[in-house]
Structure 1
Amino acid sequence: MLIAGAGPVGLTMALELARYGVPVRIIDKVPEPTHTSRAVAVWPRTLELLDRSGAAADIIAIGNKVTVANILSGGRSVASLSLDQIPSPYPFALMVPQYETEAVLRRHLTAHGVTPDLGVELLGFEQDEDGLSARLREPDGTESIKRFAFLVACDGAHSVVRHRLGLEFHGDTLGLDWTQGDFHLSGYPFPSSQMAIFWHEDGPLLFFPMAPDRARIITSLGVSTGAEPVALEQKAFQKMVEARGPGGITLTGTEWVSAFRINERQVENYRSGRVFLAGDAAHIHSPAGGQGMNTGMQDAINLAWKLALVSHGVASAPALLESYDLERRPVGAQVIAASGRMTRIGTLPDHTLQHVRDFIAHILMGLPPVQRAITGLMAEVSIGYPNSPLNGPSLGEVKAGARVRPVAGVAPFGSGNTPVFTACGGSGAAKLASHFPRLVVALACPSGEEALLSLVRPDGYLAAAVQDADWEALIPYLDHLGTERREPII
Structure 2
Amino acid sequence: MRDVVIVGGGPVGTMLACVLAVGGLDVEVLEQRQQPSLRSRAIGIHPPSLAALAGIGVADALLERAVRIRAGEVHCDGRTLGQMSFERATPGYPFVVALPQYETEALLRDRFEKLRPGRYRSGVTVTGVRERGDAALLSTDSGTVEARYVIGADGARSRVRAAAGITWRQLGRRETYLMGDFADSGPRDTDTGAVLYFERGGVVESFPLPGGRRRWVAMTDFLATDADSADLAELIRFRTRVTVAEPLGAASAFVVQQRLAGRLHSDPLYAGSRRSNLRAEPVSGPRPAGRIALVGDAAHQISPIGGQGMNLGWLDAVALAPALQRALLDPGAAASVLADYDRTRRAAARRAALQAGFNMAMGRPAHGLRLGARNALVRGLTLPPANELVARAFTMRWL
TM-score with structure 1 setting the length: 0.72
Query: Which amino acid is 2:368 matched to?
Result: H
Q: Residue 284 of structure 2 corresponds to which residue in structure 1?
A: none
1:74 aligned to 69, 72, 77, which one? 77
Query: Structure 1 residue 165 and structure 2 residue 164: aligned?
Result: yes
Q: Residue 298 of structure 2 corresponds to which residue in structure 1?
A: 281
Equivalent positions of 1:373-392 (< 5 A) are 373-383=389-399
Query: Structure 1 residue 28 and structure 2 residue 31: aligned?
Result: yes
Q: Residue 340 of structure 1 corresponds to which residue in structure 2?
A: 357
Q: Residue 113 of structure 1 corresponds to which residue in structure 2?
A: 116
Say whether the 8 Å CA contact 1:365–1:371 is kept in structure 2.
yes
**14-23 vs 171-180, which deviates more?**
171-180
2:93 aligned to 84, 90, 93, which one? 90
**317-326 vs 129-138, which deviates more?**
317-326
Say whether the 8 Å CA contact 1:16–1:305 is kept in structure 2.
no
Query: Greater CA radius of gyration, 1 or 2?
Result: 1
Say whether the 8 Å CA contact 1:192–1:211 is kept in structure 2.
no
Query: Structure 1 residue 326 and structure 2 residue 343: aligned?
Result: yes
Q: How much has 1:255 moved relative to structure 2?
A: 2.8
Q: How much has 1:188 moved relative to structure 2?
A: 7.9
How many Å separate the matches in 1 of 2:53 and 2:114? 15
Query: Structure 1 residue 240 and structure 2 residue 235: aligned?
Result: yes
SS at match of 1:78: strand
- For residues 407-439 of structure 1, the C-alpha deviation after alignment (integer angstroms, 9 at most, x for no partner) is xxxxxxxxxxxxxxxxxxxxxxxxxxxxxxxxx
Query: Which amino acid is 1:149 matched to?
Result: R
Q: Residue 51 of structure 2 corresponds to which residue in structure 1?
A: 48
Distance 1:231 1:292, change over 3 A: farther
Say whether the 8 Å CA contact 1:22–1:311 is kept in structure 2.
no
Query: Which amino acid is 1:235 matched to?
Result: A
How many Å separate the matches in 2 of 1:153 and 1:204? 34
Q: How much has 1:174 moved relative to structure 2?
A: 2.9
SS at match of 2:356: helix
SS at match of 1:150: strand
- For residues 447-480 of structure 1, the C-alpha deviation after alignment (integer angstroms, 9 at most, x for no partner) is xxxxxxxxxxxxxxxxxxxxxxxxxxxxxxxxxx
2:139 aligned to 119, 132, 135, which one? 135
How many Å separate the matches in 2 of 1:160 and 1:41? 27
How many Å separate the matches in 2 of 1:294 and 1:30? 22
Query: Which amino acid is 1:257 matched to?
Result: A
Q: How much has 1:354 moved relative to structure 2?
A: 1.2
Q: Residue 325 of structure 2 corresponds to which residue in structure 1?
A: 308
SS at match of 1:163: helix
Q: How much has 1:356 moved relative to structure 2?
A: 1.5
SS at match of 1:46: helix
Query: Which amino acid is 1:375 matched to?
Result: A
Q: How much has 1:250 moved relative to structure 2?
A: 2.6
- For residues 375-397 of structure 1, the C-alpha deviation after alignment (integer angstroms, 9 at most, x for no partner) is 111212233xxxxxxxxxxxxxx
Equivalent positions of 1:392-471 (< 5 A) are none
Query: Structure 1 residue 363 and structure 2 residue 380: aligned?
Result: yes
- For residues 283-335 of structure 1, the C-alpha deviation after alignment (integer angstroms, 9 at most, x for no partner) is 11222210100000110111012212332459845322221101100000000
- For residues 192-233 of structure 1, the C-alpha deviation after alignment (integer angstroms, 9 at most, x for no partner) is 6110000111111100101473111111121x4xxx541631
Q: Residue 155 of structure 2 corresponds to which residue in structure 1?
A: 156
Query: Which amino acid is 1:120 matched to?
Result: V
- For residues 116-143 of structure 1, the C-alpha deviation after alignment (integer angstroms, 9 at most, x for no partner) is 21110000011122111110113xxxxx
How many Å separate the matches in 1 of 2:64 and 2:189? 22
SS at match of 1:54: coil
How many Å separate the matches in 2 of 1:286 and 1:158? 15
Aligned CA-pair RMSD: 2.1
Q: Residue 277 of structure 2 corresponds to which residue in structure 1?
A: none
How many Å separate the matches in 1 of 2:250 and 2:165? 34
How many Å separate the matches in 2 of 1:75 and 1:190? 24
- For residues 237-258 of structure 1, the C-alpha deviation after alignment (integer angstroms, 9 at most, x for no partner) is 11012112242x3331323432
Say whether the 8 Å CA contact 2:185–2:245 is kept in structure 1.
yes
Q: Residue 125 of structure 1 corresponds to which residue in structure 2?
A: 129
How many Å separate the matches in 1 of 2:386 and 2:188? 26
How many Å separate the matches in 2 of 1:275 and 1:317? 12
Query: Structure 1 residue 59 and structure 2 residue 62: aligned?
Result: yes
How many Å separate the matches in 1 of 2:389 and 2:352? 14
How many Å separate the matches in 2 of 1:173 and 1:317? 33
Say whether the 8 Å CA contact 1:122–1:136 is kept in structure 2.
yes
How many Å separate the matches in 2 of 1:304 and 1:83? 29
Q: How much has 1:159 moved relative to structure 2?
A: 0.9
By relative contact order (CA 8 Å, sep 6+), the higher-ranking structure is: 2
Moved over 6 A (4+): 188-191
